[in-house]
Amino acid sequence: MKHTLHHAMKPIETAGYAALCDLAELGKGKKSVSVPAKTVKQMLRAYEDMLNILAFGEAKKRGEEYFPKELVDRLITGENRLRIYREYRGLTQQALANASGVSRDMIAMIETGRKTGSLATVKKLARALDVDLEDLA
């Protein structure tokens, strides 16, 4: 059996994929095989990883931007979105103020939750951060 995706998955955990390949070899000519639950879990993780790799490749072809897991984790926990994207872009509050035309004080107030900012303000910030308006909502 040719393991073309196995090499593409490194450094992602490959144990599940290897187990899947072994299972395929064992299954030749047999109607059923017994698989330990741990192996099934490894196979499912490997399958999910493989789907993520394929989705990543397709999105990359379309020129879409990718955000690291750490950024996504911060978004999920409810941290201030403006701060997350500003820091991800490597900008200080003052640099974002200069790029967007929004005052540094207003940016600080939005990031701390004291203000929400008008639609026009949030549009300026989104444009300067090169994100969709919805990303800051």
What separation in angstroms does the CA of 99 have from each of 49, 103, 127?
Answer: 38, 10, 9
Q: What is the pLDDT of residues 4-31, one digit of tens each?
A: 334 444 444 455 566 666 667 666 777 7
40 or 91: which carries more pLDDT confidence? 91
Task: Please give the pLDDT value at position 17.
Answer: 64
Task: Please give the pLDDT value at position 136.
Answer: 93
Q: What is the pLDDT of residues 77-134, one digit of tens each?
A: 999 999 999 999 999 999 999 999 999 999 999 999 999 999 999 999 999 999 999 9
CA distance 55 to 61: 10
Q: What average pLDDT does the segment 30-36 reach?
A: 73
Task: Please give the pLDDT value at position 5.
Answer: 39
Residue closest to 103 by CA, chosen among 129, 130, 124, 119: 124
CA distance 83 to 129: 11
Q: Over 80: is that where the pLDDT of 51 sits?
A: yes
Within the chain, all domains assigned CATH 1.10.260.40 are found at 69-136
Which residues lie below 8 Å from residue 102, measured CB to CB, with a gap of 6+? Answer: 96, 117, 121, 124, 125, 128
The structure tokens listed for 52 are 């993520």
Q: What average pLDDT does the segment 30-48 reach?
A: 79
Q: For the domain 69-136, what is the CATH superfamily, name and number? A: lambda repressor-like DNA-binding domains (1.10.260.40)
